[in-house]
Amino acid sequence: MTRLGVNVDHVATVRQARMIDIPDPVEAALLAEQAGAEVITVHLREDRRHIQEQDVARLRQRLTAALNLEMAGTPEMTRQALTLKPDDACLVPERREELTTEGGLDVVAHAKQLRDVVSRLRDAGIRVSLFVDPDLKQLEASREMGADAVEIHTGSYANAGGARLERELEAVRRGAALAAGMGLEVHGGHGLNAANVAPIAAIGEIVELNIGHSIVARSIMVGMVQAVTEMKALIAEADRTGH
């Protein structure tokens, strides 16, 4: 059964629009958990545009679901992770001017820096995944530096249309098979929504999907419990039927 990680960053985005204390991403996370989310994911960005340290600390105290911290592989964020003690950390590339994470990590180019971060987090008992494009060299470098998992970037698939869609899906499938063959746990995420999640959830090697924007957007219309329940049902159906 593919696990669902619900990313509640954009609940905090709405809060930060007014710099007050509602809506509370922790409350949203507890509702997502109540609806069956196995993982709650937050990205503590360097510019703190949505999630704040205090949110992560409160999630750490109150969640039963696993807490997955998305973070840049920098010394500051490594210190934060070692203090906040999430169950999982997902290392992502981060640029201040981007609207959202725009591409996978270049694990090959930043191998030296990332290897050190991976080993410090793992030594503290935090499981580490690396957010990468489904590229053989990136997957090999991820395994080589001791990551527990990779999260395959599904953004290119999510943005594709027409003939490109099938090619991008095939690339995710191939990447997932390669990663699992190397002994890495395989996750997926970025740009997934009710209309495009099924083919990704049906990939047998992918055991966790992290979904944020589309679930938070839907929750504005129907509430968080209903939004998560709907996504869980789509994933369960794809798991069951294989498509």
Scanning 25-33, 160-168, 173-181, 187-195 for contacts with ligand PXP by CB under 6 A, the matching segment is 187-195
Is 190 an interacting residue with respect to ligand PXP (CB under 6 A)?
Answer: yes
Q: Which of 2, 101, 138, 142 binds ligand PXP (CB under 6 A)?
A: 101
* Nearest CA-CA partner of 89 in 210, 204, 214: 210
* Nearest CA-CA partner of 151 in 183, 169, 128, 125: 128
- Phi, psi at 181, each rounded to 5°: -65, -25
Scanning 11-19, 30-38, 133-141, 189-197 for contacts with ligand PXP by CB under 6 A, the matching segment is 189-197
Is 68 an interacting residue with respect to ligand PXP (CB under 6 A)?
Answer: no
Catalytic hit among 43, 50, 153, 187: 43
Q: What is the CA radius of gyration of the chain?
A: 17
Q: Which of 156, 191, 202, 228 binds ligand PXP (CB under 6 A)?
A: 191
Contact between 238 and 199 (Cβ < 8 Å): yes
Binding mask 4-33 toward ligand PXP (x if CB under 6 A, else -) reads: ---x-x------------------------
Q: Which of 15, 43, 143, 218 binds ligand PXP (CB under 6 A)?
A: 43
Quote the CA–CA distance of 117 and 97 in Å, as a whole number. 24
Rounded to a whole number, what is the distance in angstroms from the first to the last CA of the chain?
A: 14
Q: Which is nearer to ligand PXP, 36 or 93 (CB)?
A: 93
Query: Is there a catalytic annotation at residue 243?
Result: no
Residue by residue, DSSP assigns 159-191 as: H--HHHHHHHHHHHHHHHHHHHHTT-EEEEESS
Active site residues: 43, 70, 190
- Residues forming the site for ligand PXP (CB under 6 A): 7, 9, 43, 70, 90, 92, 100-101, 131, 151, 189-192, 210-214
